[in-house]
Amino acid sequence: MTLRRVLIANRGEIARRVIRAARVRGIESVAVFSEADAQSPYVLEADISVAIGPPEARLSYLDPDKILAAAKATGADAIHPGYGFLSENASFARAVIAAGLTWIGPPPDSIEAVGDKRRAREVAKAAGVPTVPGYEGPDDDATLVREANRIGFPLLVKASAGGGGKGMRKVLDPAGLADAIASARREAESSFGNGRLILERCIERARHIEVQILGDHFGHVVALLERDCSLQRRHQKVIEECPSPSIDATSRASVLAMGVAVAKAAGYANAGTAEFLLAPDGAFYFLEMNTRLQVEHPVTEEVTGVDLVGWQFAIAAGKKLTLTQDAIASYGHAMEFRLYAEDPASGFLPQPGLLRRVKLPAGPGIRVDACAIDGMEVTGFYDPMIAKIIAHGANREEARLRLIDALRQTVVLGVRTNTAWVLDVLNSDPFINHTLDTTWAERELAERPWLQPSAPDSVWYALAAFLSAGRSDSVRSGSQGQSPKSPSPFDATDGFRLVRRSAE
């Protein structure tokens, strides 16, 4: 099978990443965009761009009918979902296939088998892979209360669908259980349209280890090493690194084999990630499987030299996976920092606003995946990530120092970011000696005042205002520095606004 034109059912930096992967394979790209993203770089870089609705995700990026209509209108023969949005929606994957399009992702049955935490635990147990002690049965409130008391406290109430910490509550004692169940269920229903819950024992001082999987449609599955994602805030990852500094060769072989076992049990194909907790006693427990490309896939690419997105295209086109487990090697060490518009001093609350000036780093061993430019609006409609900054080095210390240098080069004016906070973390003894765990950030925020941002934001805001003098009107107009009187590059076609790029 030959892919000619792929529609990317996503936005931002992951859309740009997929566009680049398509371009070097001679595949044309179709971008979809909401009104909020009309001037985003990925829209201008794609061969064809399609407007699909207002800023609200449920009316644009989460609307399967609009995505499929855009694919039909542009003659796309494949859809790449990126991550988030519809990427782990089995019904959407089936609709794509039913429309005669190639789905660049795992089979819908596999998404259903392991994309839901409840079913994923069942698949892992059947494959002989240890799971976190917990409960995944009927989830009426009375049953959850009974099972929580059986499991013991502290425990986690978790949404069965979705991820990213949404619909998750830590419960320290029985007194807080009822409120945690109610609030977790509300958030799960709002975020994923599915309020089902599971319970898991809270393993204190654990590390978060995840295994990158690639599988083809001929039953061949390999694990491309592991990533350590233990530095988190509000259950969301901040820094990911590959390989993990917390495990030795024996433990690595064990957890990679567990990841492959879960994937094979689910009949998995394409890219995915099996996530595990590493307990202080060295035991691994399966958590869940992400049936899509991960935000942190670049660190795996940098260390293994494997183009994960390229293999996604190849596998979807029916090609056999030529990688063998013993041939996958580790070349140095890589770390990824997620640059967010958020305020660490205020509980990491998102900070929407105008990006007055954006200067992202460069240099040996530095990779930046971003979709941010001067004058772009960080809106409250989507995740406030501005960029992913990846540093690769011959060893962990070189990668750490390169990442520190990259962050010092980074300038974002107009919104607060987490850069200064992460610089403090990167220079801290727990990070240097890799002794931190998934709850370290929350504990240190409460106990260590030096983890507050080290640069007064008022200085940066004043500088931003000075630098942007004389251009604020055009920025506010949404033209991102262009004259608001410039003619629109879009033509009305079949209810969409389309732009066809001419060959360069």
pLDDT tens by residue, the chain, 504 residues: 899 999 999 999 999 999 999 999 999 999 999 999 999 999 999 999 999 999 999 999 999 999 999 999 999 999 999 999 999 999 999 999 999 999 999 999 999 999 888 899 999 999 999 999 999 999 999 999 999 999 999 999 999 886 767 899 999 999 999 999 999 999 988 877 789 999 999 999 999 999 999 999 999 999 999 999 999 987 789 999 999 999 999 999 999 999 999 999 999 999 999 999 999 999 999 999 999 999 999 999 999 999 999 999 999 999 999 999 999 999 999 999 999 999 988 888 999 999 999 999 999 999 999 999 999 999 999 999 999 999 999 999 999 999 999 999 999 999 999 999 999 999 999 999 999 999 898 787 665 554 544 444 444 544 544 554 444 433 333 333 333 323 222 222 333 334 444 333
- Measured CA to CA, the distance from residue 378 to residue 36 in angstroms comes to 9
Q: How many CB atoms lie within 10 A of CB 119?
A: 16
Supply the angle between the helices 308-316 and 12-23 in degrees, to the nearest 10.
Answer: 70
Point out which residues pair with 276 in neighbouring strands.
Answer: 209, 286
pLDDT at position 158, please?
A: 93
Instruction: Say if CB 199 and CB 157 are below 8 A apart.
Output: yes
CA-to-CA dists, residue 91 to 65, 70, 121, 193, 290, angstroms = 12, 18, 21, 13, 16
CA-to-CA dists, residue 243 to 48, 79, 235, 435, angstroms = 38, 31, 21, 15
Look up residue 304 and give its amino acid: T
Instruction: Say if CB 156 and CB 171 are below 8 A apart.
Output: yes
Beta strands in 172-283 (DSSP E): 197-201, 207-215, 221-233, 236-242, 270-278
CA 412 to chain CA centroid, Å, is: 21
Helix segments in 289-392, DSSP class H: 297-304, 308-316
- Residue 89 makes CB contacts below 8 A (sequence gap 6+) with 64, 111
Instruction: Say if CB 371 and CB 40 are below 8 A apart.
Output: yes
Please report the domains of the chain, with CATH numbers, ordered by start residue.
5-104 (3.40.50.20), 133-201 (3.30.1490.20), 207-451 (3.30.470.20)
Instruction: Say if CB 262 and CB 124 are below 8 A apart.
Output: yes
pLDDT at position 474, please?
A: 36
pLDDT at position 194, please?
A: 87
- Residue 272 makes CB contacts below 8 A (sequence gap 6+) with 106, 114, 213, 215, 263, 289, 290, 291, 292
pLDDT at position 115, please?
A: 82
pLDDT digits (tens, 9 = 90+) for 41-94: 999 999 999 999 999 999 999 999 999 999 999 999 999 999 999 999 999 999
Calculate the CA dihedral of residues 58, 62, 65, 69 and round it to 10 degrees.
110
Give kind and range of the element (H or E) at residue 350: strand 349-350
CA-to-CA dists, residue 100 to 10, 79, 95, 189, angstroms = 20, 11, 9, 31
